[in-house]
Amino acid sequence: MPQFEPFSALRFSSSSGDLLAITSPPYDVLSAADRSHYAEASAHNIVHLDCPLESDGPGRYEKAATDLQRWRNEHVLVSDPTPSYTLYRMSFHDDSGRQRETVGVIGALQVVDVGAGGVLPHEQTTPKAKTDRLDLTRATSCNLSPVWGLSLASGLSALLNEPGEPMGSFTDEEGVVHSVERVSDPQRVALIRQAVSTSTVVIADGHHRYAISRTFRDETRAANSPIAESAGLTMTYVAELVEEQLSIAAIHRLVAHLSADEMAALLAIKYEAIGNGTATPATLTDMENNGAICLVRPDGTTTLYRERPEQFTGVRALDSARLEHTIASSGKSLDTIGISYQHGVGEVLRELSNGHAKCAVLIRPVSLGEIRRTADEGLLMPPKSTFFTPKLRTGLVMRLLGE
């Protein structure tokens, strides 16, 4: 089972400014416009470190490292005096409007080899350049944003419910309240370490970041680097794999190369059309109630499609897996029909109206049962099967390697 250790967290000092202005969503959900917005919010916003501008050229990662050191010298960023865990709480309304409260813990999780067990992926990853995160880690020797892990440790949530030392709280642009608390009491630290370290952790978000941590660990070991031991761990937010701690949204499919009529003909291979309508916030509820996926046209009109069970013998009960099976049965591939990924019905409609796709297929969120089955059986879901919300804010906790 994996190590999970406290560390001397690097944090923004209390004089650095409002946490809303100096933190940001994760780098991989930021558009260029989003990045500009956060950069303009504060000269000390985390995007200046975590999202180097390509326009700054090959030296952009070294610039991030220089800025990181300067911010430390100027006491914009300060390190905790002793190793600790950080409790991270979020309060929000989910897609159904229900008030939710979640809690997880940020610590340093062991970086294990593929197939070694203890830390498992839960879905296949799409081809993606990993050099950006690797080059940034090489330059800064710092974990700037956490991987998101799900622990199979029963009772972890109850252990984390007791408050720690408050380290900051704010409400983001989506109305989500983010709060962080430090836990440095040796007895409680030991209990958290034991709870996480005695059960498997499933990577929910941040597969690429975890993968480059392996590469960086191996590089530092080969070089006999003084930070090699520290590089054997990576900053990770860990929450218990239980329904009350998870809000799971679907990642829908945009189709660039097939018209809505062509996509309808493809779906007819394995599904039956059961009703037409218009895309609204209630569409996802209609899909859930009818056990259906939904074809969306550029004008916002929709058709619900229910699978024909006999067509999916041996295929996992996931909309993403069954849609991929249907596409393959047509003789096409994800690439040939131009599949890309987008969460949020509103965002899908915007992409269609902008002409970025010819049609879209909305799918249902993956159930907690399927996520647990994935972990228990060592399976992998298709790429982009799950979208965990709300997203953790980057900049609330950082981890310097070797310190």
For residue 27, give the nearest of 185, 146, 121, 181 by alpha carbon. 146
Q: Which conformational region is residue 322 in: left (phi greater than 0), alpha (psi within -120 to 50 degrees), or beta? A: alpha
- Asked whether 373 and 379 are in contact (CB, 8 A), the reply is yes
Low-confidence ranges of the chain (pLDDT < 50): none
pLDDT tens digits, 196-219: 999 999 888 888 899 899 999 999
Distance of alpha carbon 47 from alpha carbon 25, whole angstroms: 9
Q: Which amino acid is at 96?
A: S
**Strands 271-278 and 301-307, how do they pair?**
antiparallel
- Please count the helices (runs of H) and the strands (runs of E) in the chain: 13, 21
Note whether residue 370 is domain-resident.
Answer: no
Whether residues 106 and 243 share a domain: the answer is: yes
d(CA 403, CA 400): 6
Residue 128 is predicted with a pLDDT of 55
The answer to whether residues 227 and 302 belong to one domain is no
Tokens of 193: 């370490």
Judge if 85 and 160 occupy the same domain: yes
Query: What pLDDT does 124 receive?
Result: 63
Full residue range of the structural domain in which residue 314 is found: 251-364
Closest CA to 290 of 273, 315, 265, 270: 273
Provide the token pair at 197: 């370290």
Position 64 scores a pLDDT of 97
Residue 264 covered by a domain: yes
d(C-alpha 353, C-alpha 58), whole Å = 36
Asked if 381 and 366 touch (Cβ cutoff 8 Å), the reply is yes
Q: CA 131, CA 135: separation in Å to the nearest integer?
A: 6
- What CA–CA distance (Å, rounded) separates 234 from 213? 7
pLDDT digits (tens, 9 = 90+) for 268-310: 999 999 999 999 878 988 999 999 999 999 999 999 999 999 9
- Answer whether residue 379 is part of any domain: no
Same domain? For 169 and 299 the reply is no
Q: Are 48 and 82 members of one domain? A: yes
Residue 369 within any structural domain of the chain:
no
* Domain assignment present for 136: yes
Flag whether 376 is in a domain. Answer: no
Give the Cα separation of 9 and 396 in Å (integer). Answer: 9
Closest CA to 251 of 389, 148, 84, 156: 389
What pairing do the DSSP bridges indicate for beta strands 147-151 and 233-240? parallel
Q: What local confidence, expressed as pLDDT, does residue 93 receive?
A: 85
Same domain, 79 and 115: yes
Q: Are residues 210 and 288 in the same domain?
A: no
pLDDT at 368: 76
> Residue 99 corresponds to which tokens in the numbers above?
């008030």
Q: Number of structural domains, the chain?
A: 2
Radius of gyration from C-alpha coordinates of the chain: 22
Same domain, 80 and 187: yes
Say if residue 122 is in the same domain as residue 228.
yes
Q: What pLDDT score does 96 carry? A: 65
